[in-house]
């Protein structure tokens, strides 16, 4: 089946929306995941942490906890769409929410090395010294068949790696509430829009919190991709992106019909 035929199949047959993400592994590269949360129990299969010691960076087993709540919030959004995915928590953020760019690089490299199919990156960096190594890593991920979804910067200037739209899928928030009605964003490196305003999601200590930001749009798209990968497990990163474009344009065309 060629890409056009696949796009038409997805457009005409929406049975993929009834999938649950079963068999799909997702790396959440963030502040960790509180796996004790009732909504996340049994869904986090691994927890590791990038430890920076002078010039050395190690990926070591970590407790199934979260330093800030950010990663737990993203994980909750993913499982609200794809409840049967397997989550791999890769902790690269500290308790203050600050990150060392080297930890981010190590976390991405670890996910690629483990061949984790889908990667949620609701974080990034504005430091230019990480531009080249991030670009190289993303190309490596693309060649390995890993699909990376990255959140755009909430501030009005670019952050890495979300600007590298050739080798990942970049996302910004919209006021839409239905995750299946994600949109296409024209004219910039940011490609898709998804719900990201007042999102009620999982938080620390078994709680919930309403959050706004591009960080929380990103896992909506990750959840959607998990459904597609369950239905069509052999999709390449390019095919995933093309299908998302097709669905997003279809969503926007439907909206125009009712204006």
- Which residue numbers are catalytic? 30, 70, 215
Distances in Å between the Cα of 254 and the Cα atoms of 117, 181, 182 are 31, 10, 12
Distances in Å between the Cα of 3 and the Cα atoms of 116, 242, 243 are 23, 8, 8
**Bond into 141 cis (ω within 30):** no
CB atoms within 10 A of CB 258: 5
The Cα 179–Cα 159 span in angstroms is 24
């Amino acid at each position: 089946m060629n890409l056009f035929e696949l796009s038409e199949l997805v457009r005409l047959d929406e049975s993929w929306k009834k999938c649950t993400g079963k068999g799909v592994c997702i790396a959440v590269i963030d502040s960790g995941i509180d796996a004790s949360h009732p909504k996340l129990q049994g869904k986090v299969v691994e927890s590791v942490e990038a430890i920076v010691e002078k010039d050395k960076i190690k990926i070591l087993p970590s407790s199934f906890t979260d330093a800030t709540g950010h990663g737990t919030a993203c994980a909750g959004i993913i499982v609200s769409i794809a409840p049967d995915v397997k989550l791999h928590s890769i902790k690269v953020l500290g308790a203050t929410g600050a990150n060392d760019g080297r930890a981010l690089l190590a976390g991405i490299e670890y996910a690629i090395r483990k061949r984790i199919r889908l990667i949620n990156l609701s974080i990034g960096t504005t430091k230019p010294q990480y531009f080249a190594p991030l670009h190289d890593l993303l190309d490596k991920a693309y060649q390995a068949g890993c699909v990376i979804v990255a959140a755009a910067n909430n501030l009005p200037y670019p952050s890495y790696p979300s600007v590298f739209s050739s080798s990942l899928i970049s996302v910004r928030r919209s006021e839409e509430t239905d995750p299946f009605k994600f949109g296409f964003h024209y004219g910039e490196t940011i490609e898709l829009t998804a719900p990201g305003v007042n999102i009620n999601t999982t938080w620390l200590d078994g709680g919930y919190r309403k959050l706004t930001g591009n960080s929380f749009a990103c896992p909506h798209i990750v959840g959607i991709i998990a459904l597609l990968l369950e239905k069509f497990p052999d999709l390449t990163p390019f095919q995933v992106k093309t299908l998302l474009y097709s669905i997003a344009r279809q969503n926007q065309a439907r909206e125009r019909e009712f204006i």
